[in-house]
A and B are shown apart, each in its own frame.
Chain A
């Protein structure tokens, strides 16, 4: 985990002090609502339906026991005793008082955390693979690069007022778990034929109103040039991105209007001018940052733990959990474990103060004090010994972390929706809950197999509905909440945007609609096919027919 030095620490403390003064001036009437708005947004502070909402940055999802305990304390002391993990790996508080936010920022700074640029039209939290550094299929550890980008983008003076928000994701594995294709910039760490490290650069992906998969503008960017190249992209966007219409202001609209080829030419021309400036990365800096991400000393095991395998054979419940929530690790005898924040009847991604403390204890006891947040809104313990898994499972069950549903239909990605968010057109949490109830039978859920179901309460697509195998979007029809369903979305290497099934549904129809979609899949699948595979083979028509068939 990256550890702040005196410089990093000074910057977050300066920020807390600056924001304290801004809040003071706002409350004293010296700053108007309009003037305060972008200042508070760039600190992650929204004024929401019932209360302010504070989004705390978790850079690339890396947390520690110490940080979790601080978050638990903050939720108890300043909020209602729970927090929410977002689809950008960040953590939200739903009920803080505006007056308390400067104190919260100061608390966060004491554990090297902040809320910088978690909202607003600026460069947001850079996200990555939740299994970074431990995944068996990793080519390059993306975390040092995420940290380098974090520092470069933090208070970048030229890019604090972009046309619209800007999201960067970095992947370093065979599989793309960071969804780089649906980011404003997606970076894929690769090696060229000579074995040198660099990045494939995608630009112009994104969800929202106009979902698009990013286009490659450079197949290989040698790593020392990463920041100057980003600077060139951002400068072209800052100057030429549309500012006349909020809905056409993301970089994807510019890339599409110019074509990726012409956009790439503009970037290359700009880059020629800044290419070898002081911002060019150095070996020393790469090494300085990388030292914080070296694999910790792990015990050496010759292979899988025999006791663990035995238990899997003899205990069905444990085996279910191990098959869904335990993931391959590059070190023999180790595993990464997902703590599911998707039990029945809980808003996806919500976590109580008690659970935050418990997760901190589990991380300390079983995972070298490290823990990750994921864009699927769960937590991950990255360094668990297989021999501890059975014991860990019991503790997870006690704390409500053991729902064995990772990657299954009920591992729903869901935004806060109309229950909390003032942007939402419709509620999303009750829909997730109703679907969860419909598919509560575990054997049935396993039989359905891997499926991504994502729900957003509005076009802004915080719930990533476009890239769900089944996507659900809340829409407003004459003041009533309706839900539009799309099929065939995918994140990962072959990212795709889902297709809309047809006219939208009322909330109470949704469990039945999803049930019918699943029925069509189950009736048509071949033994090895996942939902998405069957969909791609048979197309949307059979699903459509079933769902819209007149009731008998």
Chain B
């Protein structure tokens, strides 16, 4: 079982992430799954009828707006980084948290590396599935790379100039 960072801890991951080409008939009734956006859009009713818990994942070119009205159905939203240098999902994360008030788990998946964790955390992520060849225990330290920040963001609604 893969280990992920959740909050400030490394925990076993109990969720199954379904690829984009997964189909509904492959699903079991129980078990916690994170489905691709297209599957959610096509099979929302069937997915809600399952006993297992439900999450959805967005790729970098998919938009937070497309699930803004559905947030109550998800225990996890995962945002994919096809390469770590693709920064679009930082904006999606902030929109989900700040604009649409999503309170559940927000997880980064894909090419997730430790040197990006600090930024991800600031944008509202609270779970990180690091790329498999990376050690999540070692990566924990990077969540504390900086002890002070200038801007307001999801983790700190007041910019430094309103606090200094």
Contacts and interface: CB of A to CB of B under 8 A. Distances in A.
Contact of B151 (A38, A152, A161): A152
B86 A243 contact: yes
5 contacts: A7-B160, A155-B119, A243-B88, A278-B158, A284-B161
A239 B148 contact: no
Interface of B: 63, 84-88, 90-92, 94, 99, 113, 115-116, 118-123, 145-153, 157-162, 164
A14 B148 contact: yes
A191 B152 CA distance: 28
Given A14-B145, A161-B84, A161-B87, A151 B160 contact: yes
Interface in A247-277: 273, 277
- Chain A residues touching B, majority SS: helix
A279 B151 CA distance: 7
Contact of B84 (A35, A159, A163): A35
A363 B39 CA distance: 66
Interface in A99-136: 121
Contacts of B151: 152, 155-157, 279
A24 interface: no
A452 to B, nearest CB: 36
Contacts, number: 104
Contacts of A545: none
Interface residues of A, number: 39
Nearest to A22: B115
B91 A235 contact: yes
Given A14-B147, A278-B162, 9 more contacts: A7-B160, A7-B164, A18-B146, A38-B85, A158-B90, A238-B87, A239-B92, A277-B152, A288-B161
Nearest to A121: B85
A299 interface: no
Nearest to A13: B147
Contacts of A238: 87-88, 90-91
Given A14-B148, A277-B152, A5 B85 contact: no
A160 interface: yes
B146 A151 contact: no
A154 interface: yes
Contacts of A399: none
A44 B113 CA distance: 20
A18 B145 CA distance: 6
A7 B122 CA distance: 18
Given A14-B146, A22-B115, A273-B99, A161 B91 contact: no
A9 to B, nearest CB: 9
Contact of B153 (A154, A158, A235): A158
Nearest to B113: A35
A227 B160 CA distance: 13
Contact of B152 (A11, A239, A278): A278
Contact of B146 (A5, A155, A156): A155
A139 interface: no
Contacts of B147: 10, 14
Q: Output the residue of B84, B86, B151 with the most chain A CB within 10 A.
A: B151
Contacts of A278: 152, 157-159, 162
Contacts of B152: 277-279
A494 interface: no
Contacts of A15: 146
Contacts of B160: 7, 151
Q: Output the residue of A157, A227, A277 with the most chain B CB within 10 A.
A: A157
Contacts of B121: 157
Given A121-B85, A161-B85, A239-B91, A155 B162 contact: no
Contacts of B157: 277-278
B31 to A, nearest CB: 33
Given A38-B85, A160-B90, A238-B87, A282 B161 contact: yes
B164 A5 contact: yes
A26 to B, nearest CB: 11
Interface in A1-60: 5, 7, 10-11, 14-15, 18, 22, 31, 35, 38-39
